[in-house]
Amino acid sequence: MARPNLDDLAVFITVGREGNFTRAAAKLGVSPSAVSQTIKELEERLGVRLLTRNTRSVAKTEAGERLLASIAPLLGQVEAEIDALRDLRDNPAGTVRITADEYAIRGLLWPKLRECLRAYPDITIELITDYGLTDIVSERFDAGVRPGGIIAADMIAVPIGPTMRMATVASPAYLARHSSPKTPQDLTRHRCINLRLPTHGGLYSWEFGKGGREFHVRVEGQLIFNSAIQILDATLDGYGLAQLPDHQVRPHLEKGELVEVLADWSEPFAGYHLYYQSRRLQTAAFRVIVEALRLRSSTTSYFDTASSD
């Protein structure tokens, strides 16, 4: 029996994770027909069906489930070792994949990484926008970026941003039509602009704290977005109240375009952290990225620069 090669196994892993030939092909940069042919030839060489197909998706057979569970971690180790070999070159090289929400990407990561890319032309950085708590191991990310308080204990966390605070804001025009809320419970009588969390599909629950006590409020309104930038635009246009990072709305508060309410119910919390597996093999390229993003005393200026664009 002819043995499958690593490229064929990598295609199978991608299809198995995506559950769809078209999405797998897009991720691999090839045509769906090429992916289908590779899987067909792999199954013929192994003499066993790995996937069942229908018009919309593919599902793993028992053999496919077993193969994916056994070889995916091994292939990941092989790729990590190959990346480590590249470190023997004069310049750090390779791809670093990071998942983060768009606010962190725009306000923290990109202002630092754009300088890093100029200094290290052989490093490729892939930034994936995501508001959910992505499993960076199963999704094969090198690292994720989240506020410090919600990082799993088995991860290494590196602070990359200052302490944060959420601000509840509205436009002067909206507040002229509606009385300002005095307590978070008053928000149930207001039009609030919601954020849909893409990974889990739920709505972001607004967070408040006072006197060391934390609690969440579910709000309602006419608008739901999956982007903080769109929420800010709608808030500026007077369509309701929103809860956004203080650094994002600060320029608009200073210009009088927005007004903060419930300020005494908003307490600071741990800022953004870059997190990654404690057992992860660190390549030179990854170490360069970590050091580029690590919190420095001037980090707050990056937020100000991004939010004023």
pLDDT of 309 higher than 70: no
Distance CA 9, CA 43 (A): 11
pTM, rounded to two decimals: 0.64
Write down the pLDDT at residue 167: 96
Mean pLDDT of 231-254: 95
CATH number of the 6-78 domain? 1.10.10.10
Amino acid at 138: S
Q: Using 50, 70 and 90 to split pLDDT, how confident is the model at 303? A: very low
Distance CA 221, CA 14 (A): 39
Contacts of 95 (CB under 8 A, 6+ apart): 123, 124, 125, 126, 285
pLDDT of 300 higher than 70: no
List the alpha helices (DSSP H) in the chain. 6-18, 21-28, 32-46, 62-86, 102-104, 110-119, 172-177, 228-236, 246-254, 284-293, 300-307
Contacts of 154 (CB under 8 A, 6+ apart): 277, 278
In 3D, which of 235, 241, 151, 230 has the Cα closest to residue 196? 230
Write out pLDDT tens, residues 101-125.
888 998 889 999 998 999 999 999 9
Q: Using 50, 70 and 90 to split pLDDT, how confident is the model at 296? A: confident
Domain boundaries, the chain: 6-78, 94-155+272-307, 166-265
Mean pLDDT of 291-297: 85
Q: Which two tokens stand for residue 292?
A: 């580029």
Q: Which residues of 289-302 are buried (b: 16+ CB within 10 A; e: fewer)?
A: bbebbebeeebbeb
Kindly report the CATH class assigned to 166-265: alpha beta
Q: CA geometry: angle at 208 spanning 203 and 210, to 5°? A: 165
pLDDT of 298 higher than 70: no
Distance CA 12, CA 36 (A): 10
Q: Which two tokens stand for residue 148?
A: 């410090």
Q: In whole angstroms, how far apart are CA 308 and each of 18, 115, 234?
A: 38, 19, 17
Write down the pLDDT at residue 278: 80
Write out pLDDT tens, residues 33-56.
888 889 988 888 888 899 887 766
pLDDT of 302 higher than 60: no
Write down the pLDDT at residue 1: 52
Judging by beta carbons within 10 Å of its beta carbon (0-12, 13-18, 19+), is residue 78 exposed, middle or buried? middle
pLDDT of 90 higher than 70: no
Asked which of 16-20, 135-139, 148-152, 189-193 is least confident by mean pLDDT, the reply is 148-152
Same fold, 6-78 and 94-155+272-307: no
Residue 279 has a CB neighbour count (10 Å cut-off) of 8
Q: Which two tokens stand for residue 108?
A: 């923290």
pLDDT of 88 higher than 60: no
CATH number of the 94-155+272-307 domain? 3.40.190.10
